[in-house]
Chain A
């Protein structure tokens, strides 16, 4: 069974940093592009960042470019999101998502991890 398990969500103060992790299982992690998507409380879905399987392609939404960094360790089947200079509007559930197909769409989502930014 394909599974994505996020962790690292926490309460942070404005300006602080957090690193989210997503451990994948049930598929050949290194051959698939992965992404992070967030959802603020009561709001819709916002794509944040994507990384190709071989890490040669990395993409960011304008809202997080320069503050967030996506990376992956294929030897550990793990995706990361380093979040710096956190702001109150970064408060959201953060989902790890697997791409499928060409062009790629999302076929598997993790359960999400909650990030709260508040003083």
Chain B
């Protein structure tokens, strides 16, 4: 199975900060990577697919980059509604795997 490692596991930030989350795959997954946002008590929400494609309706302050084994999710200017947990996911096949999550909390 492909292992996905996210860092950091927790990130303290303030409104307006530029935030970057990293995800590493145990083998090359090309650009088959998605990012999800999950708020407490809610289902995850798709933000980014194919490593850098923004899902419809997602604010442009979210962006993704990377290919192969290393990927990043960047929030250019953190908004109050962005405090949440973020997960990366590889989808090289139907048998997907998720990173452990990054909780973005208020500094």
Q: Which of B42, B98, B99 contacts A47 (CB 8 A)?
A: B98
Chain B: how many interface residues by the 8 Å CB criterion? 24
| A104, B92: Cα distance in complex, Å | 8
Chain A: how many interface residues by the 8 Å CB criterion? 25
Q: Contact at A105–B94, with CB atoms within 8 Å?
A: no
Q: Which of A44, A59, A109, A112 contacts B94 (CB 8 A)?
A: A59
Q: Contact at B98–A107, with CB atoms within 8 Å?
A: no
SS class, residues of chain B in contact with chain A:
loop
| A80, B8: Cα distance in complex, Å | 36
Point out the residues of chain B lying under 8 angstroms from A61, CB to CB.
Answer: 95
Question: Is A117 an interface residue when CB atoms closer than 8 A count as contact?
Answer: no
Point out the residues of chain A lying under 8 angstroms from B91, CB to CB.
Answer: 103-106
Point out the residues of chain A lying under 8 angstroms from B94, CB to CB.
Answer: 33, 35, 50, 52, 57, 59, 99, 104
Question: Is B101 an interface residue when CB atoms closer than 8 A count as contact?
Answer: yes
Chain A positions within 8 Å of B, measured between CB atoms, are 33, 35, 44-47, 50, 52, 57, 59, 61, 95, 99-101, 103-112
Q: Contact at B55–A107, with CB atoms within 8 Å?
A: yes
| A99, B97: Cα distance in complex, Å | 14
| A46, B94: Cα distance in complex, Å | 13
Q: Which of A33, A47, A50, A112 contacts B97 (CB 8 A)?
A: A47
Given A44-B87, A50-B95; A103-B44 close (CB under 8 Å): no
Given A57-B94, A59-B94; A103-B55 close (CB under 8 Å): no
Q: Contact at B92–A106, with CB atoms within 8 Å?
A: no
Point out the residues of chain B lying under 8 angstroms from A107, CB to CB.
Answer: 46, 49, 55
Q: Chain B: which residue is nearest A101 at the CB level?
A: B49
